[in-house]
Structure 1
């Protein structure tokens, strides 16, 4: 523990005058003065309990700004202030022989800065959290209870009729994929194109591996079987708590697996936890798009059996790569949108009102007339979902998928 602060301080500028604190006029001068005072305390060699208080004041002020109005109207300057507050708090927690609990609190503080703040000082919070994680692995502070193996009930797998099955093709050339599937916007399952991922070889993804790499990290979790449910909500949990509460704890779900479901679904996970991003690769076929690699959105989808994504459509091309577990997926052409009864509200206009596997024929009489394709996506499969194609997804067991949205 004694060397932890030396490792963190080595990642910081060596002198106070090299520590940047430049803000626009949108940040009040009193807040800038508080930031400068916290910086001075950071480089002071005098023992004091006030650095934690200074950092918390900065966090409280900026948190209020982050939660006033809609997120898109939050000025980036205040997100930067919040990140500085997180950095100062982490330094205060770790400076004088921190306990294991204080180190875990410092990790959570870094994660809050990575989730809610903006990058500062060459993404210093990412550097610091890696230092903290290495310290935690040495102490075993994130091991928690002995890992239990989830008992997976036999999933309800619909019989896939041949005439409705999504076609499969093994490692098509770029030109073949473009001509036969991308340009005509036809769904297809690509086989053998991600078998080289470290997630299947060097670091096979499993519950134990995810816990070892990211167990102590705080992430957003969706609670509810689907986002259209009235009781759907979001919360923050560590990955280990999420696994214990929603993946391993059978009491959290009903027999059909659709109540009190927790689902880790977010696009920031791989930026927040680079160790996981290093285990995957962007499919080569994305190079056929108009943008560059920075324009590709990578999403993580991790949850238990019974988790449902209602029938919906997305505004970009999508490669859905299955890494762990399996999923039942049904696809509808955008040409049949009028038979799929989208919600009338602007918020859910891209989502169908129909419960796909148990449709109400009286309310939605045209739904049964809409043709569809379907499949069961297995580990190693990559499903191409063309732009605007409607798709419904149900996890058949504990599942981890990665999607790539591109234009």
Structure 2
């Protein structure tokens, strides 16, 4: 006789398996395995076989896990076969299905849930949505079953220095102007249309994150979640690299112990962890753009003091909201580009060769002509960075910022 939910043998957590199965179509034929492009017939056969194992009575967890691994390994090779923009969405969907089947096999077998959560995160990071974004719904169910981490298990976060660098002096004539809750019309006429930066105050006062978020909070809410981390003080350094790790390990290695510089810079974090997205709001001023809310890219920036974004440009308007910690930011209008010595390579053409805080004026003499503005962005403040406006950013403290890119 099959165990509850169709799992072979006794189920360690029948209630969890029932909740997980409720996320999927009730019958095998309802899982269409639709892909957004062509893949090899052999892959389609593996997908159908895995689906059959999932819906079998009883579910064959071991075989399902093996097929999930095969699908992940094969599609992973395809995902790394060329530039990301040229990768077929169909292969990303195959990778997602591989992660889904493998994660479900872990649950069906009654094994610890942390590996299943990692599988979901890998699919969310590298795959493409299937079955109404089932991985996002599945990981939320699984994460709720994991014990929330105690305030930092590897050492009290209270020992972490809150302010670890003095703020550079900003001369009044060079300071970015501040404005409190301007009307949409005033912001549009005075800053958006002429393309001028401004620090907005008071517009995040109602955001839940302003009272809730801290290093401890991220450890508790997202400690088990796998995210990409940038290693190195700035992306132009030769030793700069990226690594996948859990938020908990990132906090332990780069926030609490300060072994070296690492930075969590991620545009998928809020899709991965909707609990965090519920704590922020899209600024009302974004309605002045041409797109819808779904066209706005929301980025997370979390790291220790000393992380630097070199002087660079972005192709969209940007609201940079500071949640905790401080950032020193230097800005320069796009018409000053010739004085900023952009890199000649195509990859870094939007990045200046000049170190803003320690410029080599022998090598880059025209930099002294550049019309720079600066500010120290404090918690609760939002900096408007116009499209193509050059900006340099250095974290003065342990810092979390949220940026909204819009057109």
Report the TM-score, using the length of structure 2 for normalisation: 0.93
Q: Is the 8 A contact 1:322 1:380 kept in 2?
A: yes
Distance 2:268 2:405 in 1: 13
Residue in structure 2 matched with residue 12 of structure 1 by the alignment:
24
Distance 1:270 1:85 in 2: 23
Give the drift of 1:142.
Answer: 11
Q: Is the 8 A contact 1:136 1:142 kept in 2?
A: no
Provide the secondary structure at the position in 1 that maps to 2:147. helix
Residue in structure 1 matched with residue 300 of structure 2 by the alignment:
300
1:80 paired residue among 83, 93, 113: 93
Cα 1:189–1:61 change in 2 (3 A) is same
Give the drift of 1:24.
Answer: 6.5
Distance 1:331 1:4 in 2: 51
Give unmatched runs, 5+ long, in structure 1.
Answer: 253-259
Cα 1:348–1:35 change in 2 (3 A) is same
Give the drift of 1:154.
Answer: 3.8
Q: How does 1:318-397 map to 2 (within 5 A)?
A: 318-397=318-397
Distance 2:62 2:406 in 1: 49
Cα 1:154–1:53 change in 2 (3 A) is closer
Cα 1:314–1:24 change in 2 (3 A) is closer
Q: Is the 8 A contact 1:286 1:406 kept in 2?
A: yes
1:184 paired residue among 183, 194, 201: 194
Q: Is the 8 A contact 1:142 1:216 kept in 2?
A: no
2:228 paired residue among 197, 220, 234: 220
Give unmatched runs, 5+ long, in structure 2.
Answer: 1-11
Distance 2:61 2:193 in 1: 65
Cα 1:218–1:73 change in 2 (3 A) is same
Cα 1:247–1:173 change in 2 (3 A) is same
Q: Is the 8 A contact 2:155 2:256 kept in 1?
A: no
Provide the secondary structure at the position in 1 that maps to 2:121. helix
Provide the secondary structure at the position in 2 that maps to 1:137. coil
Q: Is the 8 A contact 2:152 2:216 kept in 1?
A: no
Question: Does 2:297 correspond to 1:289?
Answer: no
Residue in structure 2 matched with residue 275 of structure 1 by the alignment:
275
Q: Alpha-carbon deviations, 1:134-183, whole Å to 9, x = none?
A: 00037x69975354331246413111111111110110000111111111
Cα 1:141–1:33 change in 2 (3 A) is farther
Question: Does 2:256 correspond to 1:236?
Answer: no
Q: How does 1:21-60 map to 2 (within 5 A)?
A: 21-23=33-35, 26-46=38-58, 47=60, 49-60=62-73
Residue in structure 2 matched with residue 400 of structure 1 by the alignment:
400
Distance 1:243 1:57 in 2: 32
1:97 paired residue among 107, 110, 124: 110
Cα 1:73–1:25 change in 2 (3 A) is closer
Cα 1:24–1:151 change in 2 (3 A) is closer
Cα 1:248–1:288 change in 2 (3 A) is same
Q: Is the 8 A contact 1:142 1:215 kept in 2?
A: no
Report the TM-score, using the length of structure 1 for normalisation: 0.93
Distance 1:37 1:374 in 2: 59
Give the drift of 1:53.
Answer: 1.0
Cα 1:24–1:216 change in 2 (3 A) is closer
Cα 1:25–1:329 change in 2 (3 A) is closer
Provide the secondary structure at the position in 1 that maps to 2:301. strand
